[in-house]
Amino acid sequence: MEAAEAMLGDATMSGAVLATTGPRRSGWVTLGWAGPGALWLLVFLIAPVTMIVLASFWTKTNTGFDAFKWTFSNYGRLFDTVVYREVLVDTLKNAFIVLVLCLLIAYPVAYFLAVCIKSIRLQIALFIVVLAPFWTAYVIRIIAWYPILGRQGAINYGLEKLGIISAPLDFLLFSNFAVVLALVQLYVLFMVTPIFFQLATIDQSAVEAARDLGASPYKVFREVILPLSLPGVLIGCIFVFVLVMGEFATVQIIGGNQIQSVGTIVRSYYTNIDLPAAAAGSSILVAVMMIGVAVLLRFAKLREAV
Amino acid sequence: MSTTPASQATAGAASAAPVGSSGGGSGLHLDGVYRVFPGGVVAVEDVNLHIANGEYVVFLGPSGCGKTTTLRMIGGHDEPSQGTISLDGEILNGVTPAKRPVTTVFQHFALFPHRNVLQNVAFGLKMRGIGKVEREKQARDAIDLVGLGQMANRKPRELSSGQQQRVALSRVLVTRPKAILLDEPFGDLDRLLQLRMRVELRALQRDLGITFIHVTHNQEEALSMADRIVVMDDGRLQQVGTPTDLARHPKNVFVAKFMGDNNTIRGPVVESRDGVVTVQGKLLRGAVRGDLPVGQETAMTIRASAVQVSTSPEAAAVNAGRARLNFAEYLGDSVKLHLDVQGEPFLAKVDEARYAEIRAFEGQDVTVSWNLEDGQLLEL
């Protein structure tokens, strides 16, 4: 076939395309652009984390700590107490549950906004409505659960009036159920937003092409929309996982003294002037988070390869 | 699957009844097709067209003329508000794009960015439930056909735009459609690649014998590729004809202007004698064969390449006059003369060999003339 032979000539072009790079800038200009960000990370991320890791090796004394005596005993002390190990597992478990619930709620919402709504104006308007909870303060959003979930709260009152229960349900507040509920409500937006933006970037003509080539609505979703939205899902998962793992305020307010997280334990060490143990607890938390994020990234890679 | 053609046929018979037998024969039929968008914008108005199987048809027109909407209706990505579209006697109205025996090559190729070349090409077969081994074999054949054998494992972003287009093409070819729809297929290619792809695409179409329906706003592209050109403007068909028809015998003022390099004179008939009418434009006046009463508003056209240009002042013939040469545009194989008859622009095209002679007259008057036979009347 003549056409095919003529077309072969173009095969070498892609190499040239791949090798193409932007115009070369001088090193100083690049440094100028990268500098502020690097400085920010250094001062507000790398330095504090380094300090915490260092502090986790200091020795606890009766009055505070001795920064010149290095020891591993802080980690030993943490792991010797059953509480820390159990709470670490519970925190991971909760993070996983919250992550899954956020994903289950957020994906349909984001899909509806980005795919089902065709008018951009309506899309933006509805997205602002989705963001509405952010207009109230964090603490208010948590405390607002009290009058809903409390012993004399709306749910218990309503159920009792209806005669469905005779005594108030206790598991509604100051329980793990309440903590998960509040965390999902707080962080679901961190899942909706990246998925929404990722879905919105999907080229509609790719969707049309899939349909054109014989894909059913389910196949269009499974073969085109879902894989192309995975980067947004991944970012949302990282957001929610990291934020929930580090949570202590919500857990304390809504879980009362019944529920603990790594965050609340670290805080209690800190208030007991046991800075080295608090630092060790934080360091372990950071390490676990990094492992979790690495697992998420690995999972995403695998999915992409399918 | 086996029940689908039957149900389509019955649905077709019901909706085809008002148009009678026109939905019948082989090839693609558009009968009285309208598309009115919500809000009342009429995108396509009363399109009647028959495209034979194996024909290469180009829809040509300015943006917003309705050509893409027409293509989308054939592909099933839009539905006519009125009228029927049928292929080989089978009514396509209401049939989903997935079930239509036509496939579209989208404007910016619309490749799946997360799939490699092989997976992109095999997609249509996968959707038809063809097993992995068989579909990959067929996909490889289709990729080889467009000369991208070595690129099978690349992702679309790792390909040049020319290669991406070939992937888009083979992704469509592999499903063996009855007709392929191409929406501005060369829009993303640089000019040299466009010129080459024109030849390759045309050769491929001849080899395969599949109907190609191609949408463009580029006159040159349409003339070089089509068996037949469909010129559209304002939602309506303006003229349907072979490239030579379009170039030599534009039917109306729009087509003459849109095809370019035509001089149009529009105005009343001032003289009508012996089968020759004289049309008086604002400033230009031209005689042309025809039979119209004096006083009737009409228009005529003369191709720029039919205009003779002389640098020596000559005695005036029937269609001759003096015109100021503003600019002689060198085009490589010809010279385009931008003339001016008392403020009204006029075009002429002469052989490249005369460039030096013509150029010396820039800013001066030259004599232009044309044969009576070269002018023709237009519909308004």
- B124 vs A contacts (CB less than 8 Å): 213-214
pLDDT for A302 = 58
List all residues 6 or more positions away from B349 whose beta carbon is below 8 Å from its beta carbon.
B261, B304, B305, B307, B334, B335, B336, B337
Least confident of B12-21, B204-213, B269-278: B12-21
Tell me: pLDDT of B2 over 60.
no
Name the nearest CA neighbour of A198 among A256, A265, A270, A113: A113
Q: Which two tokens stand for residue B229?
A: 């050109």
- Answer whether B204's CB lies under 8 Å from B142's CB: no
State whether residue A12 sits within 8 Å of chain B by CB: no
DSSP letters spanning A39-86:
HHHIIIIIHHHHHHHHHTTSEE-SSSEETTS--SHHHHHHHHSHHHHH
Interval B239-249 mean pLDDT: 92
Distance from CA of A217 to the nearest CA of B (A): 10
Does some domain include residue B296?
A: yes
| Residue B222 covered by a domain | yes
Cβ distance B334 to B322 under 8 Å?
A: no
Please tell me if residue B163 touches chain A, with a CB cutoff of 8 Å. yes
Statement to judge: residues B90 and B184 lie in one domain: yes
**Three-state DSSP state, B307:** coil
- Tell me the pLDDT band of B4, cut-offs 50, 70 and 90: very low
Q: Does A234 touch chain B (CB under 8 A)?
A: no
Q: How many CB pairs under 8 A join A and B?
A: 113
CA–CA separation, A26 and A31 (whole Å) = 9
**Domains of chain A, each with CATH number or no CATH:** 81-305 (1.10.3720.10)
CA B111 to CA B113: how far, in whole Å? 6
**Residue to substitute from A205, A212, A304, interface B, most B β-carbons within 10 A:** A212
Residues B267 and B362 in one domain: yes
Q: Give yes or no: residues B207 and B338 share one domain.
A: no
Output the six-digit token pair for B298: 């009409």
Rounded to an integer, what is the distance from CA B15 to the centroid of its chain? Answer: 30
Cβ of B177 under 8 Å from any chain A Cβ?
A: no
E strand or H helix that includes residue B133: helix B132-145
b/e per residue B142-168 (b: at least 16 CB within 10 A):
bbbbbbbeebbebbbebbbbbbbbbbb
Q: Which domain holds residue B324?
A: 262-378
Asked if A8 reaches chain B (Cβ–Cβ under 8 Å), the answer is yes
Whether A305 contacts chain B with CB within 8 A: no
Residue B33 forms part of a structural domain: yes
- Given CB atoms, is B60 within the 8 Å cutoff of chain A? no
Domain CATH for B359: 2.40.50.100
Q: Does B145 reach chain A within 8 Å, measured CB to CB?
A: yes
Residue B109 lies in a domain: no
Give the chain A residue whose CA is nearest to the CA of B122: A213
pLDDT reported for residue B31: 94
Same domain, B89 and B206: yes
Residue B96 lies in a domain: yes
Cβ within 8 Å, pair A211-B98: yes
- Separation in Å, CA A81 to CA A75, A194, A259, A271: 10, 39, 17, 18
Q: What is the DSSP letter of B375?
A: -
Of B285, B345, B295, which Cα lies nearest the Cα of B316? B285
d(CA B237, CA B219): 16
Q: Which of residues 189-208 of B touch A (CB under 8 A)?
A: 193, 196, 199-200, 203-204, 207
Task: From chain B, pick out residues whose CB is under 8 angstroms from the CB of A1.
Answer: 145, 207
CA atoms within 13 A on the CB side of A85: 7
Residue in chain B closest to A231 (alpha carbons) equals B114
Q: How far apart are the C-alpha atoms of B230 and B316, rounded to whole Å?
A: 39
pLDDT digit string (tens) for B148-200?
A: 888 899 999 999 988 998 999 999 989 989 999 999 988 888 888 888 889 98
Considering the domain boundaries, does residue B106 fall inside one? Answer: no
Please choose, from the candidates A227, A10, A81, the residue with its C-alpha nearest in 3D space to the C-alpha of residue B149: A10
Distance from CA of A214 to the nearest CA of B (A): 4
> Is the CB of residue B32 less than 8 Å away from at least one CB of chain A?
no
Q: Is residue B140 part of a domain?
A: no
Q: Rounded CA gap, B297 and B293, in Å?
A: 9
Bridge partners, residue B299, by sequence: B266, B378
Distance in angstroms (rounded) separating the CA atoms of residues B121 and B150:
14
The verdict on B43 and B76 lying in the same domain is: yes
Q: What is the distance between the alpha carbons of residues B62 and B14, in angstroms, rounded to a whole number?
A: 36
How many domains, in total, are found in chain B? Answer: 2
Q: One digit per residue, pLDDT tens: chain A, 306 residues? A: 344 434 433 444 444 444 444 556 678 888 888 989 999 999 999 999 999 999 999 988 887 788 888 888 899 888 888 888 899 999 999 999 999 999 999 999 999 999 888 888 999 999 999 888 888 888 888 888 999 998 888 998 999 889 888 888 888 888 899 999 999 999 999 999 999 999 999 988 899 999 999 999 999 999 999 999 999 999 999 999 999 999 988 999 898 888 889 999 999 888 888 899 999 999 999 999 999 999 988 887 755 544
* pLDDT at B226 exceeding the cut of 90: yes
Q: How far is Cα A54 from Cα A279, in angstroms, rounded to an integer?
A: 8
Beta-ladder partners of B301: B264, B376
- How sure is the predictor about B9, in pLDDT bands with cuts at 50, 70 and 90? very low
Q: Are strands B102-105 and B179-183 parallel, antiparallel or unpaired?
A: parallel
**Alpha-carbon gap: B10 to the closest alpha carbon of chain A (Å):** 22
Please compute Rg for chain A using Cα positions.
26
Chain B residues closer than 8 Å to A203 by CB: 108, 110, 113
Quick one: closest CA in A to B174, which residue? A213
Which of A1, A10, A201 to mutate to probe the B interface, most B CBs <10 Å?
A10
Clarify whether residues B196 and B235 are in a common domain: yes
Decide: helix, strand or coil at residue B108.
coil
Say whether both B78 and B41 belong to one domain: yes
Whether B166 maps to a domain, the answer reads no
Interchain proximity B199–A14, CB inside 8 Å: no
ipTM: 0.74
| pTM, 2 dp | 0.75
Average pLDDT, stretch B302-314? 85
Task: Give the pLDDT mean for B200-211.
Answer: 90
Distance CA A90, CA A265 (A): 12
Domain end, chosen from B226, B248, B270, is at: B248
Domain final residue, candidates B216, B248, B280:
B248
User: Is the same domain home to B331 and B182?
Assistant: no
Tell whether the torsion through CA atoms of B246, B251, B255 and B257 is positive or negative: positive
CB contact under 8 Å between B160 and A224, yes or no, is no
Contact at 8 Å (CB) between B333 and B350? no
Q: What share of chain B has pLDDT > 70, as a percent?
A: 92
Rounded to an integer, what distance in angstroms lies between the CA atom of residue A141 and that of residue A249? 12
Residues of chain A neighbouring B163 (CB-CB closer than 8 A): 10-11, 13-14
- Residue B310 pLDDT > 90, yes or no? no
Read off the CATH number of the domain in which B181 is found. 3.40.50.300
Residues B225 and B359 in one domain: no
Angle of helix B161-173 versus helix B191-208 axis, rounded to 10 = 20
Q: What SS3 state is found at B345?
A: strand
Give DSSP secondary structure letters for chain A.
-HHHHHHHGGGGHHHHHHH--PPPPPHHHHHHHHHHHHHHHIIIIIHHHHHHHHHTTSEE-SSSEETTS--SHHHHHHHHSHHHHHHHHHHHHHHHHHHHHHHHHHHHHHHIIIII---HHHHHHHHHHHHGGGGS-HHHHHHTTHHHHSTTSHHHHHHHHTTS-SS--STTSSSHHHHHHHHHHHHHHHHHHHHHHHHHTS-HHHHHHHHHTT--HHHIIIIIIHHHHHHHHHHHHHHHHHHHHT--HHHHHHHTTT---HHHHHHHHHHTT-HHHHHHHHHHHHHHHHHHHHHHHHHHHHHHH-
Measured in angstroms, the CA of A14 and the nearest CA of chain B are apart by 5
Asked whether residue B92 falls in the same domain as residue B233, the answer is: yes
Shared domain check, B212 and B182: yes
In 3D space, the residue among B179, B225, B207 whose CA is nearest the CA of residue B52 turns out to be B179
Together in a domain, B46 and B183 = yes
